[in-house]
Structure 1
């Protein structure tokens, strides 16, 4: 018998695990999970969660969807890494249940927006796009560049010292007794606030995309900063030393001929150069000094032409390699090293490049998702194991400002972070880790600056989308997250007829606006009465969002 209104999640990756956990613990919903095996990846952890039914299937096909009872499902989420695979599976699910709400994970948001017309009821979310700004901000030691645009208003996260008090919508966090408090009631001591900007005044600069110089201008700027950079790239050190030695001999020969034969320096240089390139004619009447000089220059002539030929060949080869690989071979400094060019890493290097921050990327393979993008942006790419010191040295981590480690393997990430910190004790380390408790211990034990979990940041948005609630922003605070969401007030719900204070009393939630049709009331008074049909714009913790969704349904 079909289970009416149940939810279906397809996948066994970290995001699937977090999503299912969010649905069963915070929203107390029954979830069916389709995965290849309950014994692989995050299958064991998912299977241990309450109110979870497991359907094992090697492929997401019609048979798997029938076994998962998709025909009677309320929502189905597709959270695999393959955009095309997710679209194909969603089309099959829609054939079985035309009324089902589909939530599709997409890396390519342009494609995601384009395919919405294929589905009757669909939400497209990119976990990479949500998480990347948090990693970029952590790498640069800045406030996360989160902003939300609403009709007539733009909200952004800021340091309270950077905005006037009348622009502050609500306090997001404060430090009390050595711990971080989310959504404090007293905004006076807040260290992070949600602020409002209007029009194009001075406060919108927080949201502006910086002007990035073109590829030629970036090259020219690098040459001005270091005029010998291109020489070091195109010529090997040993070849350069040999060339310098030969040139020194030519200068010495010129000086000797000037002194002994009493020639002007330019004539002496002329005789020296022709003697070195063409060899000298024997002159028994010449002085001993001239004979020795001519002999040395003749010997030099044997090596000079091959050295010049080798230099030209090496310069051409190295120039072509630099263009082909999208990287230069000389050390860098003041840059950000990004390890892992998967979905999140690709977004991070693009965001850093857009902000004009120099970047070096590392991945195990040269065919990773972000490798082609990196080369097209003239970002150096080092292919190798980031947990090995020689790979990190090739990326000049010893002179980098930050190391951002973003692979999907916690062990590899930790090894790379520790190795990077050994090579450069001053480097700012930003680490991607799935397990929150493990991440907290790692931060304390190894002095890691910041750790983030992509699935932790993204799962609440996917869960809300499955329940047809829209999360319009996610704000990372330490290893926790605050969510900005629009919540409709349903008739005869707990909130219907209550006040804004009623919602605040739920805990972990602040109402920042009340929408009634086209009218929006920002920063409503606590005594404002709420009624069915209105929408609340709230900032909430993960638990708080679950409570307000339940109270408004």
Structure 2
């Protein structure tokens, strides 16, 4: 319990991680070469500061690495992080190490090469959360439920007009098969997880957080008026084709337009001369014109040998042939030059840009690429604006069908080309904060109601921009990534870490290990109560014919077995207890206060099984009420007994064992 958590590096990411670690109320040691130990920020209980180089084994030993519970290495230098990680592993072969890495290629290889080490990329952690903010600001987080697949946690506000007002929370979640995660009354303290009373009636001004599939949540939000129907009528096919053609023509060089115009003009003129002067049918005139210009097939003029226009026809055909050869040669040279300069790619690119409902991503760096990946995974249409033509991510996203516009997003014409006025959202992901802010303000000028997610590095600046009202969705990358870094220290299967009214929650996938003192052979209800968690989905090691639905999973008396997997929502402190295999306090007892006469035999059976009594002793004990059925139980185990006794109509109470 006294083993410290060690944090190496206190930059922008490290400071945010430090804030989250404080909520764990566990010993914490900070190592940094530039830290001021006198800063009041670090004068906290259980916090100790060590000034020095985190690669130095003496400094690491002084910080307590040999008996540390976990080490987070978060400097901004990959080489320093790797060197520190290897030194920590030498000093403590078993400690869990979380390593920050910028080099994408090293992340997976390092994790496989060194035992119990987790290498993380800030861009990979923050990118999906940026994408989520762009798609829906009310979606707190998305996750993959082991049992039900992709799900979301959504925040909902209860208004006087909402159909959810004046209804019980339990009725709502039972009808929609959802799970209540958090509840904030209009007046009073917020409640999370098992603190929420299902009999609570929602009132205007309340807020509630629900987990479930996007389809069910969107239906509920549509009913309550929180989600607008985004159905937009498609533009007419002719209008769309005309706009695409006009945009493609605008992208073509003027020399190509001139050469094409002269060639087509010559063909039209010669066709009309054939038709009007030599009295040929129009179709035949066009055919003969193309034949002469392209192949010279009619150069001898046999068709005019017996006509009065024989001499003039030969002169006309000769001039037409010479003009055609010159125009074709010029046209071929111009087109070849146009293709060599790779302008055709830009012409074809405009056909990929959707008319509406897409997401525009400005900047295709490490974070921008992760954002695009997440948007594509969610089935969104994406348009990227990237100024660098040799960006290594451009070919990759183009292969995925993403339209890439080469240009500066700070230019209004480039933004208009991306159809930002009808886009679903705009995300600024360039590495320059000032450019991101400029893009966000320019988008607001073009389309005042457009949703813009502003990516920033400095958490304080992002908060200032939000509070000033300039960009309500200004977010800091360290703020997005820090909770997931803390979660990775406990378990590599942490999916998300988020806050509800300042209270931190963790979404994690758990696997029951053989002889696990916390999970194995325990009822799901008991585990939920003892470790303050909500099971969202369960995949038993042996599949049952009857699925266990998330909305009723905590009411079942299912006993976990080694190999079972489940997706749960809990607090960081409770997850730490599970990871450390800390047993829940066994200080509760179940006391029988009354029972119907027909249930005497059932109660005697319980007494025999729990207290190892004979039939006569059990029958005699049922004559003396109140009586203790079981003691030295965890709270969850006691609640299990209480639920079982209620079903048998046996009155019972749960009290702390110390009160005896």
TM-score, normalized by the shorter chain, greater than 0.5: yes
Which of 58, 83, 94 aligns to 2:89? It is 94
| 1:322-373 Cα distance to aligned partner (Å, 9 max, x none) | 3xx9983668343322133344322211122334433233456566674453
- Give 3-state SS (helix, strand or coil) of 1:99's partner: coil
- 8 A Cα contact 1:133 1:146, kept in partner: no
TM norm structure 1: 0.66
Matching of residues 152-171 of structure 1 within 5 Å:
156-157=151-152, 165=175, 167-171=177-181
Write the distance in 1 (CA, Å) between the matches of 2:141 and 2:537: 25
Q: 1:44 to 1:141 in 2, by over 3 A?
A: farther
Tell me which residue corresponds to 2:130.
135
1:19 aligns with 2:17: yes
Matching of residues 142-541 of structure 1 within 5 Å:
143=139, 146-150=142-146, 156-157=151-152, 165=175, 167-172=177-182, 176=186, 186=200, 188=202, 192-195=209-212, 228=245, 232=249, 235-236=252-253, 238-240=255-257, 242-270=259-287, 272-273=289-290, 301=324, 304-314=327-337, 316-317=339-340, 322=345, 328=349, 332=353, 333-334=355-356, 335-363=358-386, 365=388, 370-371=393-394, 373-382=396-405, 386-389=409-412, 392=415, 397=420, 400-433=423-456, 438-439=461-462, 442-443=465-466, 445-446=468-469, 448=471, 450-466=473-489, 471-474=494-497, 482-484=505-507, 511-512=534-535, 524=554, 539=569
Structure 2: any 5+ residue segments left out of the alignment? 157-163, 165-171, 220-239, 519-525, 543-547, 556-564, 586-660
Write the distance in 2 (CA, Å) between the matches of 1:479 and 1:248: 72
Write the distance in 2 (CA, Å) between the matches of 1:399 and 1:168: 33
Write the distance in 2 (CA, Å) between the matches of 1:84 and 1:461: 22
Over aligned residues, Cα RMSD in angstroms?
5.9
TM norm structure 2: 0.57
- 8 A Cα contact 2:528 2:554, kept in partner: no
Q: 1:536 to 1:399 in 2, by over 3 A?
A: closer
Write the distance in 1 (CA, Å) between the matches of 2:6 and 2:348: 45
What's the CA shift for 1:94? 0.4
Q: 1:30 to 1:316 in 2, by over 3 A?
A: same
Write the distance in 2 (CA, Å) between the matches of 1:537 and 1:331: 39
| 1:135-191 Cα distance to aligned partner (Å, 9 max, x none) | 3233333846622445x56683256999863622224466859x9997765485766
- Give 3-state SS (helix, strand or coil) of 2:93's partner: coil
Q: 1:98 to 1:28 in 2, by over 3 A?
A: closer
- Give 3-state SS (helix, strand or coil) of 1:345's partner: helix
- Give 3-state SS (helix, strand or coil) of 2:27's partner: coil
| 1:241-279 Cα distance to aligned partner (Å, 9 max, x none) | 541354134324322431222122244335544676779
| 1:397-446 Cα distance to aligned partner (Å, 9 max, x none) | 45643211234554332222112322344532112245666545534655
Q: 1:32 to 1:438 in 2, by over 3 A?
A: closer
Tell me which residue corresponds to 2:594.
none
What's the CA shift for 1:464? 4.4
Write the distance in 1 (CA, Å) between the matches of 2:407 and 2:37: 31
Between Structure 1 and Structure 2, whose CA radius of gyration is higher?
2
Write the distance in 2 (CA, Å) between the matches of 1:187 and 1:105: 45
Q: 1:391 to 1:196 in 2, by over 3 A?
A: closer
- 8 A Cα contact 1:158 1:193, kept in partner: yes
